Amino acid sequence: MGVTEDLADDLAMQVIKFVEASGDEQIISDIVKLLGATSQTAEEAFLTSMRVRRANISARAMLMERVKAFKAKQQESAASTGSDNAEKPPQT
């Protein structure tokens, strides 16, 4: 990436961490206004990085939920299969 994208991405990561810790979503709008007033290029790079990073965070959260559900279903299936086998007498 170029300098603009690198700086904007670093800022976006810091802002996301701050929002996660504080819940203050307003900081995003405030930074966008500041960047837009001083550099439209920096503003666009920041917004792009924010969108990409937040989309990635959401996608990873969805994936983790699906993995948990899949593992739970597998364990449930294994438990029911195991208990079925325990009830059947061994074949000779």
Q: Does a structural domain hold residue 88?
A: no
Q: Does the pLDDT value for residue 89 go beyond 90?
A: no
32 falls within a domain: yes
pTM value > 0.85? no
Q: Tell me, what amino acid is at 16?
A: I
Asked if the model's pLDDT at residue 48 lies above 90, the reply is: yes
Number of domains in the chain: 1
Q: Does position 34 have pLDDT exceeding 90, yes or no?
A: yes
Inter-residue contact 35 to 75 (CB < 8 Å): no
Residue 89 within any structural domain of the chain: no
- Is residue 65 situated within a structural domain? yes
> pLDDT-derived band of residue 66, with 50, 70 and 90 as boundaries?
very high
pLDDT score recorded for residue 57: 97
Domain with 22 in it: 3-81
Is residue 6 within 8 Å of residue 15, measured between CB atoms?
Answer: no
- Residue 90 counted as domain residue: no
**Residue 26, pLDDT above cutoff 70:** yes
